[in-house]
Amino acid sequence: MKKTLVAAMILGTVLVPSTAFAQSDDAPERTDQTRTTDVREVDQVRDRVDLEEAKARALEAIDKRVVALTDAIARIEANEHVEPEHARALIDDYEFHIRGLEALVGPIEEAETAEELRPLVESIVLEHWVFALQIPKGKLTVASDTILDATEHFDTAYARIENVLAELEEQGINLPGADALLEEARGLTEAAAELVSPIPDTVLAIAVEEMPEAREPLEAARADVRAAHDNLVQARENVREIVSIIKEALGTDAGTDAA
């Protein structure tokens, strides 16, 4: 009967109205000792329920991080812009943390008290920093390498534009507006490359022991990536304007010749 009563109390149900025994001559005498025993058993079961819930949340947190790292590895492997040495460093790092997180599963499941569980739960964050460090490191490295790759494509486009402008100049067609836009675009892409070039080596070198202080260089890297991206957007607009100027010049010149 005692186990049933304890379970009912935990579930918040009432098997017998509290006034029933008070109105019955058969009600057992309640002593301080029996009340203390009941309370202790309720607390023990409640602690066990809370412990199991905490363990379930911890295992869920591990699974969430392992999935995030696994997905990040797949994206890096599929990205053709990432430098091979950067990709290898990231994947090795991610696989290391996946193994570390998975190694916590057994001890967490076996933990018998909150005191045993607490340091294991803390390890999920403090020994891995998946969302605050590992995933940002990957994103910043990929973004930087992608921008650097894009600047090379811009340089190829600039060379072609320069050749076209030189040919037009030989034909007596000068386009100073296009020249100015081209020079500005080159400056923008050069600045973008300078901003992101140091980022991969900087962020890949950040260790978990440096957290949370290392959030500052991560934020600085994010700002540089955004600035570099904005530069490339403006450079692309310059190229479009240059192409429009060239098309207009060729169209006018062709019309004059036809006449």
Give the model confidence (pLDDT) of 37-74 as tens digits: 444 444 444 456 699 999 999 999 999 999 999 999 99
**Which residue from 182, 142, 150 is spatially nearest to 164, judged by alpha carbons?**
182
Residue 1 pLDDT greater than 90, yes or no:
no
For the full predicted model, state whether its pTM sits above 0.85: no
**Which residue from 32, 14, 52 is spatially nearest to 44, judged by alpha carbons?**
52
Residue 82 corresponds to which tokens in the numbers above? Answer: 């990432």
Q: Cβ–Cβ contacts within 10 Å for residue 158, how many?
A: 19
Residue 85 pLDDT greater than 60, yes or no:
yes
Between the CA of residue 25 and those of 1, 21, 35, 140, what are the distances in Å?
Answer: 19, 8, 20, 76
pLDDT of residue 202: 97
| Per-residue pLDDT reduced to its tens digit, 105-125 | 999 999 999 999 999 999 999
Between the CA of residue 204 and those of 26, 34, 140, 151, 219, what are the distances in Å?
Answer: 75, 62, 9, 22, 14
Residue 9 pLDDT greater than 50, yes or no:
no
pLDDT of residue 251: 81
Between the CA of residue 148 and those of 162, 168, 185, 198, 227, what are the distances in Å?
Answer: 21, 31, 15, 11, 13
Residues 6 or more apart in contact with residue 188 via CB below 8 angstroms: 231, 232, 234, 235, 238
Q: 250 pLDDT band (50/70/90 cuts)?
A: confident
Residue 79 corresponds to which tokens in the numbers above? Answer: 């990205």
